[in-house]
Amino acid sequence: MIEASYTQSQVNIKPFFDWLGTSKSGYDWFKMHRLSDVSHLITDSEVEIKTINLPTKLSDLLSLSKSSEEEFLLFDKGIDI
């Protein structure tokens, strides 16, 4: 079942916390207190990205994505005064 393979895949969340500027102790605290139920799914090492081979009927429905001509951020951090 495809869903089970994704819901049980390990992820490396450290780059996100690095981007936030979180200290190591803050990262460790968050993992221990807020992510304890899913700690078996968190890794600090690189994760191999698995690809899926879609059935032809489904892959024929997909088209290539389009790139935006303008640059924009979906997520950002900072203070706006």
Whether 62 is covered by a domain: the verdict is no
Whether 61 is covered by a domain: the verdict is no
Instruction: Please write the tens of the pLDDT for every residue from 13-31.
Output: 999 999 999 999 999 999 9
What's the pTM? Answer: 0.52
Whether 21 is covered by a domain: the verdict is yes
Number of domains the chain is built from: 1
| Residue 30 CB contacts under 8 Å (≥ 6 apart), including other chains | 17, 22
Whether 22 is covered by a domain: the verdict is yes
Q: Which of 41, 32, 46 is nearest to 7 (CA)?
A: 41
The pLDDT of residue 55 is above 60: yes
Whether 59 is covered by a domain: the verdict is no
Whether 73 is covered by a domain: the verdict is no
Q: How far apart are CA 78 and CA 76, in angstroms?
A: 7
Whether 30 is covered by a domain: the verdict is yes
Whether 58 is covered by a domain: the verdict is no
- Per the structure, the complete domain to which residue 20 belongs is given by 2-50
